[in-house]
Structure 1
Amino acid sequence: MGPRRPSNPAINLVGRQRNGSVSSLNSNASKLRTTPSAPHSPRFQSPAPKWRGYTMDAAKWTFSSSQLQSIVSRAIRQSAEASAIRLLRLETVDHDIPVELHKLEMQRTDVKTRYKMLSRRRTEMLATLTSYCDGTLHQDPSASLRVINELRDLTSTLDHLAEDLHSVDEQISQLSSLRDIHDASALAMAIRKLNASFLKQLAISDALRSQVVALEAERDDAWKQAESMAHEFDRLNEKADNADGSVINRSGRVTAMRKSSIRVSKAGLRSTRSSMSSTHRLSSASFSGGIKSAFSIEDIPPVPPIPRRPHRPVNISTDLPSTKSFIVSGPTPNTETRAMYEELCDMLGIPSTEFRPRRSRSVIERPRVSAKLEETFPNTVESRSSTSSGRPLSMPDRSGLTEVYQHMSADVCPLEYMI
């Protein structure tokens, strides 16, 4: 333990205070004098915001997909609330608000100018009052009192100008916010309408999809019933043993028709896409520089029907084997043609043994055909030889034989032309 504290009271060691002399008072007063600072004029500069928004490209680089998804989802949820929608009239947005904003901007500029001018006057009056107080200017007390009163009025005016400036700034911010809220509300209304339309179209597509599924099921059931009935009919025909011995394969025809129907339905689903692609091909071909066909396999037009004459002359007699014997040139059926022919017969449900592709008559048989024609139509052949001398045999003239050929080829089956 340390020593005890002394019991005597503390003695004031500070010396006695003395009144200063006149010279010391004057020196202290000179020290208290302050030189007036340079007048400060307000600038009314808006500080830079602490946060700045990202542009679209910068947002794609900065945020991840999940962050962008959350930001967009939150904005959509907030805009989906009906209480957050505030719309204005178009004349208000296009005319009234811009005029009012321009008026407030001019008023704010005027208030700022007056405030700067009065603030400089206030600084001058404070400097004058300071000079009166420190004795630099020797004036009567009434002058100092007048300066003080003017300074009080000036301060009150500056306070009113500050209130006016704050009110103008608030009005400008409110109008700008109101216009922004109107734009956001209009976008929210558009999103709500698009969402409702999307939901409606989705419901319609679901209903149509279910209807298509039901119709396809009914179609499959109908085809199954048709095939079963065709099999039953074929079985009854086999039991009946027809006298002519001809067998009609109805089940095969039904199967071929079912396959053809399925192909047509699939082609119908692709009709819109094929039409769009054909339109694109036609437009691109019209602007291309080279000569190029704009048609493809899908754009081949249907073959027109062969016209038939209503009355065939009955007084024409000939011993020619067939009308195709006059054809002296043409392609010979090969393996590809036979395969196409068998596929066509399979689709139609017709046995391929009933019809076979015929070979065109060669050029070697031309003299024999000419001899038969001379025996049958001597006058016609002589007139043709006299009028068409010096012309190749493949170019017939407009004689009676040409008309006979036309009459004889009028009843040719379209299936033979297809073959």
Structure 2
Amino acid sequence: MKSMFLKLLLLALSLSVVTACQQEEQATDEAVSNLEVVAEVEVSDKPVDFSAKAEEISKKYIIADTHVDVPYRLLEKYDDVSGSTEGGDFDYPRAVKGGLDAPFMSIYTPADLEEKGGSKAQAEQLIDMVEKMAADSPEKFAIALSPGDLLRNFRQGVMSLPMGMENGSPLEGDLANVEHFFKRGIRYITLAHSLSNHLSDSSYDEARPNDGLSDFGRAVVKEMNRLGMMVDVSHLSDKAFYDVLEVSEVPVIASHSSAREFTPGFERNMSDEMIKALAEKGGVIFINFGSTFVSQASRDNYDAYKEARQKFMDENGVSVEHESVMTFTEQYRAEKPFEFADLAIVLNHFDHVIDLVGVDYVGIGSDYDGVGDSLPTGLKDVSTYPNLIEGLLVRGYSEDDIAKILSGNLLRVWTQVENHAQQQ
């Protein structure tokens, strides 16, 4: 069965419509017919209702988001996301409304666990949680281990829950743990997070003990290639990024990064040179929606707040957890509200990447449930993907282009990584 689904995937990709079929037995002729219908609509003299078209597209194609931080959110405060929840950016009803079909569940471990210990145990706990979500609501969720799984689940009306590990710390220096987590369902690893670790230097950390990738990190990349696991370069230092490109035999991804062009000096985002190098190797950058990722004005606003908060803590001898700091924050934000980005700014990042390297190398990596309350207006939760699609339509992108952005580019890379592993 898996072989049949992969064949369907390759067929759909060759037509640039990875999910053109919504019927269980739909064949090539029907997919071609669908494309001809689209072409007729595009040449019609009637004005296009972009909002209605966006809703249609959101249901017609798989929408994959490569970074959604639901598991860690539930670890801090459990919610039954199979139904409506008051908090957070994700739950099943909102995801269905937005057309989301494949949110990669982020198996995130805080960077400080590298030193404290317990990274592997926490990763195991979060994977257990995702498996429980699927087991408790099989009519709504299913674990996805391959592109074929995504296609099958989509046809059956079930939301896929693929998993990516954010931070390589849970490997704990044992190369065998790469295969262990692969068997547990992990399909990409973000090698580092907010601090440099035993695999890689982090873009957020002034300390660069590895001068890029460590020897162990290089071995991990090779093992991921062997197994068919995608390598994620988000969070890495620039040097580590280029080390990954040198070592990896297959395309790599940036699961939730944006363009540094709009945030000069913010190493967490990717420079034009890095985006070009990523694309030259066939990789994809998945755009992070967080306001401080996409807007310099938002970054400046947040940096000013952090500086003022630090000054308050130093003057009063308190830590960030102290109640007085929360009071300070409330008063500060009452006078100087956070500056949110908007949908247009996020679309600018898509435009920039496409202008640089083409539409085949960009996708969605929202960071929902991972960037707090900093999400842009128009993209506040998983119900809002049609807003993004509408914005792309208004800017002149074709349905074929949008299908690639929504999932086609991800499925192409994931398939390449799988195929390489199967040829070993």
If the TM-score is normalised by the length of the shorter chain, which range does it land in? under 0.3
What TM-score does the superposition give when structure 2 sets the normalisation length?
0.18
- Structure with more of its chain in strand, by fraction: 2
RCO higher in 1 or 2 (8 Å CA, sep ≥ 6)?
A: 2
Q: State which structure, 1 or 2, has the greater radius of gyration over its C-alpha atoms.
A: 1
What TM-score does the superposition give when structure 1 sets the normalisation length?
0.18
